[in-house]
Structure formats: structure tokens, C-alpha cells
């Protein structure tokens, strides 16, 4: 039996997708990371897969982004999170085929032994087009759809919560199409093992 190697891993041996993503982001994040360390706060561990092709993301990449060493308590201000390209139809909670494919990988990751003892928050975000209240409601419904998908495929209900963040936490500009797409995202956050 031959061991399967993901296309990304074949491109840069020795580095997981997390390592490659962090290496690309390192140059732009150095200044803000230094500021966070200087302020004495733990940096939030965010892995951004939002611009990675869904076919390249493997369940192991999601595990790598969300796992913490056994026995380590997840600190509230440093919870590992992963940003995923889970896209919906415009003004809708309908998941597209690629989103379903990616979420199946998330299920496999969350059900694996490295993450089985942790609880997770599914958080959905919108861009700023439209009414503030509408966007808040839409993000809540989208987060619930993702949570329900994970639960229906075997991730325990007790381990999942859903949160709609609306347009309150943009990570890009809302002026451009690409920026708005980046802001419309789903994040999975490791909340630790305590209820």
C-alpha cells in the first residue's frame, strides 16, 4: 500500500500546509506579531485557508491548525482557529458543493483522536453589504447550518456551538469584491476541553 501525499506536501517537503501558510504570512505579520508580544499578550493562533483551493486542504491540515499538545489548556485569548473557504449562495444559507466537500474534511478532522476531546465554536461572518441586522441574522443562520452539517455526520452536539458574527469583525476591506469575499467566511475555533 502506498502512502498518499497531498499536492501541497509534495511541493514543499517537510512543511505541512500550516507551515507553508504561516511562512507566506510571516513577512506581513512580523510587525503585528512583534507588537502583540511586546504588549505581553498571547498571539491568537489563526490559520487562514480562505485562499487555499479546497481540493488541496486535507483533514490533517485542519487537525494541525486546531490541535494543541495533550495536557495543554486552551487559553481564552489564544484559542486555535482556522478560517475556511465555506461559501454560500448570495444572501442564502445554501452550501455549495465545494463547501460540502470541505466540511466533510472538517468532520473527519474533528472526529479524529487528536481533536476528539475538544469543543468547538463555528463562527460565521459576512461582508458589510446590506443592513447590519440582516447580516447578523444571516451569519447566525449560516453558522447553524455548518454546525448542523457537522453534527449530522457524527460530531457530538455537546462539542459544538454556533455563533453569528455578522459584519463586526472584517479581516479585509469591504470596498473590493475580493475583500468582501474574504470577509464572508466561516471559522472553526478550538474552545478547549472544558464545557
Rounded to an integer, what distance in angstroms lies between the CA atom of residue 87 and that of residue 109?
19
Give the pLDDT band (50/70/90) at residue 90.
confident
Kindly list the distances between the CA atom of residue 118 and the CA atoms of 79, 136, 152, 194, in Å, as whole numbers in the listed order.
11, 27, 18, 8
% the chain with pLDDT above 70: 77
What pLDDT score does 43 carry?
53
What pLDDT score does 44 carry?
65
Cα Rg of the chain, angstroms: 17
Rounded to an integer, what distance in angstroms lies between the CA atom of residue 156 and that of residue 189?
15
Class of domain 44-192: alpha beta
* 181's grid cell: 469575499
Query: Hey, which bits of the chain come out as E strands?
Result: 46-48, 81-84, 119-125, 160-166, 186-192
Between 44 and 32, the more confident residue is 44
Rounded to an integer, what distance in angstroms lies between the CA atom of residue 120 and that of residue 118?
7
Four-point Cα dihedral 100, 101, 103, 106, nearest 10: 170
Exposed, middle or buried, 2 (CB in 10 Å: 0-12/13-18/19+)?
exposed
What pLDDT score does 168 carry?
93
| pTM value surpassing 0.85 | no
What are the domain boundaries of the chain? Answer: 44-192
Between strands 81-84 and 119-125, the pairing is: unpaired
What pLDDT score does 45 carry?
85
Condensed to tens digits (0 to 9), the pLDDT of residues 143-190 reads 999 999 999 999 999 999 999 999 999 999 999 998 998 899 999 999
If we measure between CA atoms, which residue out of 38, 37, 8, 2 comes closest to residue 23? 8
Mean pLDDT lowest for which of 16-25, 134-143, 152-161? 16-25
Give the pLDDT band (50/70/90) at residue 4.
very low
Amino acid at each position: 500500500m502506498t502512502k498518499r501525499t497531498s499536492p501541497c506536501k509534495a511541493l514543499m517537503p517537510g512543511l505541512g500546509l500550516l507551515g507553508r501558510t504561516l511562512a507566506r504570512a510571516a513577512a506581513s505579520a512580523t510587525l503585528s506579531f512583534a507588537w502583540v508580544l511586546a504588549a505581553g499578550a498571547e498571539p491568537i493562533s489563526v490559520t487562514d485557508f480562505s485562499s487555499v483551493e479546497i481540493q488541496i486542504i486535507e483533514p490533517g491540515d485542519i487537525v494541525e491548525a486546531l490541535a494543541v499538545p495533550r495536557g495543554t489548556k486552551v487559553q481564552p485569548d489564544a484559542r486555535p482557529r482556522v478560517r475556511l473557504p465555506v461559501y454560500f449562495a448570495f444572501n442564502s444559507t445554501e452550501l455549495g458543493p465545494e463547501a460540502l466537500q470541505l466540511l466533510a474534511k472538517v468532520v473527519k478532522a474533528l472526529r479524529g483522536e487528536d481533536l476528539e476531546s475538544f469543543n468547538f465554536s463555528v463562527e460565521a461572518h459576512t461582508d458589510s453589504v446590506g443592513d447590519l441586522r440582516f447580516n447578523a441574522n444571516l451569519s447566525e443562520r449560516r453558522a447553524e447550518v455548518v454546525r448542523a452539517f457537522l453534527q449530522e455526520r457524527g460530531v457530538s452536539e455537546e462539542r459544538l456551538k454556533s455563533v453569528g458574527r455578522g459584519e463586526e469583525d472584517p479581516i479585509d476591506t469591504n470596498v473590493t469584491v475580493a475583500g468582501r469575499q474574504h470577509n464572508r467566511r466561516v471559522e472553526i475555533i478550538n474552545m478547549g476541553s472544558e464545557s
